[in-house]
A and B are shown apart, each in its own frame.
Chain A
Amino acid sequence: MNIKYLDDQSLSRVKTALFLLALLPCLQLIFEALSYSLGANPIEKITRTTGYWTLTFLIITLSATPLRRLTGWLWLIRLRRMLGLFTFFYVSLHFLTYLVLDQFFDWAGILKDIIKRPYITVGFSSFLLMIPLALTSTNSMIKKLGGKNWRHLHQLTYLAAVGGVIHYWWLVKKDLSKPLSFALILALLFSIRLFYIVKNSNKTKQADPIKSAYPAANAIQLESPSEEHIKTH
């Protein structure tokens, strides 16, 4: 079996496995809540955990394209929608935890937080940015918007990721090691993308071979892929 090109059956197996794996953090939280093992400050624990997994899934989502380029595994791109939606799932849980458990619908307090607390301002903005991305994740929306518009819209993911890391950076009391590691991974992913953008801009654009093999995948590309890279395999 050529690992670079998965047939539909293998891909659907990979997707099922990924779906179950992505649910694990949520299932663990539910299990801990039911077994009273969330610790002394359960609301803080839930907030931190959902926030951590939001950033983690954002990073994993953003690494699909660079990984595809480095490995040549074209099917990686077809996991991206699910990963992106799981990011949105965890950010929604994160926001709901703040809204319901932390603030208990104290709208005045929430508004004050959003205006006055920079880490909440930037975190809330990033959450808002992700809503149109989740809403336009269906095939019909991609068709409706057209590939180019859709791609441009979904470049907001980068902004949301940077916002998410800043949100984390600004809220920690003193120990920056965790937000720093997210920032470094994000910087690495951006550099890989930048490398390919520069490389591609020096080449004449050609017809994309993935287009015919993976029409749906192509529709959700963020940039044109490295033609040379794909052609050599």
Chain B
Amino acid sequence: MKKLLDTRIQPSEITPRELYDRRHFMQLAAGASLTALLPVQAFAGDALDAAKTSAYTLADEKTPLKDITHYNNFYEFSTDKEGPAELAHTLKTRPWTVTVEGEVHKPKVFDIEELLKLAAMEERIYRLRCVEAWSMVIPWIGYPLSELIKQVEPTGNAKFVEFTTLYDPMQMPGQRSSVLEWPYVEGLRIDEAMHPLALLTFGLYGQVLPNQNGAPIRITVPWKYGFKSPKSIVKIRLTEQQPVSAWMKAGPEEYGFYSNVNPDIDHPRWSQAKERRIGDFFKRPTLPFNGYAEQVAHLYANMDLKKYF
């Protein structure tokens, strides 16, 4: 539709980000003297450079920053996709800690500043496929989740990894409604979590994660539907039992533990065969494992994907 109607070049496509990003503009206007007084912390909109160039890239055209930040699901703020951008300013991303515990030899509470320096950041351009049949291409910044998990030394009993999002209805107004059971919980099998594609994510488009996209720290699992990538996480727990995610509780027949992108297995109420890439008019076929089959299909060898959806 956008392509259909919009034949002119959008201003955002030709103006450098520094000039149209309001926050950045305001920072420039505030002047260096004020910034000098603030502690050295990374907030949404601040630059976050990737130290390492990544092999994980795509030729696909990247989704514009405006669409990534103004059209997304984050039920902690709103069930409307335009809602999080409006409401997420109440989220306080400092101080922030992530507790890593459970079946590990060295449980630890990590401060966000420590996590930012734990491993070399890289930019990875990943496809994002929402279970609602729309998709994006997003340049995330982060490092493999395995780097963090290795630090706490999982025991032999660690079969799964459970992620928990912040629970604070004061900061997250969506949690005042019972649309999902709070806090938001997601989970992966340990081999999925240790897979190099699973990204501990701190930024996108060369800047610190905007609040509405899961600041200050989130998981990105590109071969699964978007809801499997939990945002604003405060706890990572390694477990022997398979975690029960918020969406499994909400609709066990519609949302399975695995939720791998699969064009052959429809959502009970709609088809997953095609998707609309944001910005495109025509739908495109959805790829098995969201196009990452070569890297991850072996994790599910001999598994009945219809049963383990």
| A contact set with B: CB distance below 8 Å | 33-34, 36, 38-44, 46, 101, 104, 112-113, 116-119, 170-171, 173-175, 177
Other contacts beyond A34-B5, A36-B2, A112-B271: 4, CB < 8 A? A41-B134, A42-B2, A171-B270, A175-B177
Q: CB-nearest residue of chain A relative to B273?
A: A109
A-B contact pairs, 29 of them (CB 8 A): A33-B5, A36-B5, A36-B10, A38-B1, A39-B71, A39-B82, A40-B67, A40-B70, A40-B278, A40-B279, A41-B71, A41-B134, A41-B276, A42-B1, A42-B2, A44-B134, A46-B1, A101-B1, A101-B281, A104-B281, A112-B271, A113-B271, A117-B270, A118-B269, A119-B269, A170-B269, A175-B79, A175-B177, A177-B177
Q: Is the interface of A mostly helix, strand, loop or mixed?
A: helix
- Say yes or no for B179: interface residue by CB 8 A criterion: yes
In the A-B complex, the 4 residue pairs with the closest CB atoms: A40-B71, A40-B67, A42-B1, A175-B79
74-112 of chain B: CB within 8 A of chain A: 75, 79, 81-82
CB distance from B73 to the nearest CB of A (A): 9
**Complex CA distance for A59 and B70, rounded to whole angstroms:** 32
Q: CB-nearest residue of chain A relative to B64?
A: A40
**Complex CA distance for A175 and B282, rounded to whole angstroms:** 28
Given contacts A36-B2, A36-B6, A36-B10, contact A43 B276 (CB under 8 A): yes
Please count the residue pairs between chain A and chain B whose beta carbons lie under 8 angstroms apart in the complex.
Answer: 57
Residues of B within 8 A of A38 (CB): 1
**Complex CA distance for A190 and B131, rounded to whole angstroms:** 36
Given contacts A173-B132, A174-B79, A174-B180, contact A43 B251 (CB under 8 A): no
**Complex CA distance for A104 and B271, rounded to whole angstroms:** 16
Q: Mark B1-36, 1 if CB is under 8 A from A, else 0.
A: 110011000100000000000000000000000000
| B contact set with A: CB distance below 8 Å | 1-2, 5-6, 10, 66-67, 70-71, 75, 79, 81-82, 131-132, 134, 177, 179-180, 250-251, 269-271, 276, 278-279, 281-282
**Complex CA distance for A41 and B64, rounded to whole angstroms:** 12
Q: CB-nearest residue of chain B relative to A170?
A: B269
**Complex CA distance for A129 and B250, rounded to whole angstroms:** 34
Residues of A within 8 A of B132 (CB): 173
Residues of B within 8 A of A46 (CB): 1
CB distance from B123 to the nearest CB of A (A): 22
**Complex CA distance for A119 and B270, rounded to whole angstroms:** 9
**Complex CA distance for A66 and B10, rounded to whole angstroms:** 50
**Complex CA distance for A161 and B251, rounded to whole angstroms:** 27
Given contacts A40-B278, A41-B276, A174-B79, contact A117 B5 (CB under 8 A): no
Contact A175–B269 (Cβ < 8 Å): no
**Complex CA distance for A117 and B5, rounded to whole angstroms:** 30
Contact A104–B282 (Cβ < 8 Å): yes
CB distance from A102 to the nearest CB of B (A): 8
CB distance from A103 to the nearest CB of B (A): 8
Contact B269–A41 (Cβ < 8 Å): no
Residues of A within 8 A of B79 (CB): 174-175
Residues of A within 8 A of B180 (CB): 174
Contact B71–A174 (Cβ < 8 Å): no
Q: CB-nearest residue of chain B relative to A176?
A: B179
